[in-house]
């Protein structure tokens, strides 16, 4: 059975040769550290923040990795990632003053959040449709 | 719940966990929404300290493990949240913290207000 986490770990352990690849400044190169960070969240344990935070489950890390790999494959740069207190993983994208958070939550309750000055903030379930609309809004 | 509100012009401190290899702040060194997301243990309230009753060093407790973010209480109130004093005592909590307060009004399903709080907060000790 295909495992995204194994796949990502395999990719991330391979050294990229910029001369050979010719794509060293693309999203795949720039997102590499964020993909590595998401993979590392599998090693967190409950109480990792010394304040009762729940560790992300294997399934949640996989879900976050799926989102990050999709963003990478479509050329979107990840600004930041972070685990959260209730077992979630946050993937943050920015464009100027606009901020999008894609949140992988336990149980597959994934969400998006859009924040921009002078616009009403929005959040909702993360679906293929809402992801497409969210990225279009971010890049507008 | 304590019913003494924190003054609008008060600054609030919130500790942010960190390790030597992961800061849990964004690449610009600013807090993230996850630093203001409701933790499972506190259910519906966010723990902070009041600037006027403590020092950054006292509030952060252990600088090897935590950074300290600061946010103005009027920014908290601007997004329809409320802050009330809730001093910790040795008898009830096992430690003394007269500066302790809670931000009330965050909902478990709300990921907008944590992001708005993070945008208004700054790191003051790291």
Closest to B32 (Cβ–Cβ): which among A51, A52, A80? A80
pLDDT of residue B40: 87
Contact at 8 Å (CB) between A102 and A126? Answer: yes
Say which residue, A20 or B87, is predicted with more confidence.
B87
Average pLDDT of the residues of chain B: 93
pLDDT at A66 over 80: yes
Q: What are the backbone angles phi and psi of residue B8, rounded to the nearest 5°?
A: -55, -35
pTM of the model: 0.90
Alpha-carbon distance of A126 to A104, in angstroms, equals 9
Sheet holding A122-125, edge to edge: A80-83, A89-95, A98-104, A111-115, A122-125
Tell me which chain B residue has its CA closest to the CA of residue A49: B17
Hey, of B115, B116, B119, B120, which one would you mutate to test binding to chain A, going by the most A CBs within 10 A of its CB?
B115
Our CA-based measurement puts residue A111 at a distance from the nearest CA of chain B, in whole angstroms, of 9
The answer to whether B34 contacts A54, with C-beta atoms less than 8 Å apart, is no
Q: How confident is the model at residue B93 (pLDDT cuts 50, 70, 90)?
A: confident
């Amino acid at each position: 059975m295909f495992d995204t986490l194994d796949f990502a770990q395999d990719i991330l352990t391979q050294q990229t040769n910029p001369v050979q690849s010719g794509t060293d400044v693309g999203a795949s190169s720039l997102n590499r550290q964020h993909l590595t960070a998401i993979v590392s969240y599998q090693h967190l344990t409950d109480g990792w923040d010394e304040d009762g935070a729940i560790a992300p489950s294997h399934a949640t890390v996989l879900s976050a990795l799926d989102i990050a790999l999709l963003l990478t494959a479509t050329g979107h740069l990840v600004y930041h990632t972070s685990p959260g207190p209730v077992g979630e993983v946050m993937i943050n994208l920015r464009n100027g003053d606009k901020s999008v958070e894609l949140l992988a939550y336990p149980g597959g309750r994934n969400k998006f959040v859009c924040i921009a000055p002078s616009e009403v903030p929005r959040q909702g379930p993360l679906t293929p449709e809402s992801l497409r609309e969210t990225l279009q809004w971010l890049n507008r | 719940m304590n019913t003494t509100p924190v003054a609008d012009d008060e600054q609030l401190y919130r500790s942010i966990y960190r390790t030597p290899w992961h800061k849990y702040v964004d690449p610009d060194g600013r807090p993230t929404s996850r630093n203001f997301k409701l933790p499972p243990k506190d259910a519906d309230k966010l723990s902070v300290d009041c600037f006027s009753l403590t020092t950054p060093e006292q509030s952060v407790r252990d600088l090897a493990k935590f950074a300290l973010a600061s946010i103005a209480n009027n920014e908290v109130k601007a997004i329809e949240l409320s802050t009330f004093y809730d001093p910790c005592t040795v008898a009830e909590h096992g430690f003394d913290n007269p500066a302790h307060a809670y931000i009330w009004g965050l909902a478990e399903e709300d990921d907008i207000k944590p992001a708005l709080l993070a945008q208004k907060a700054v790191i003051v000790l790291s």
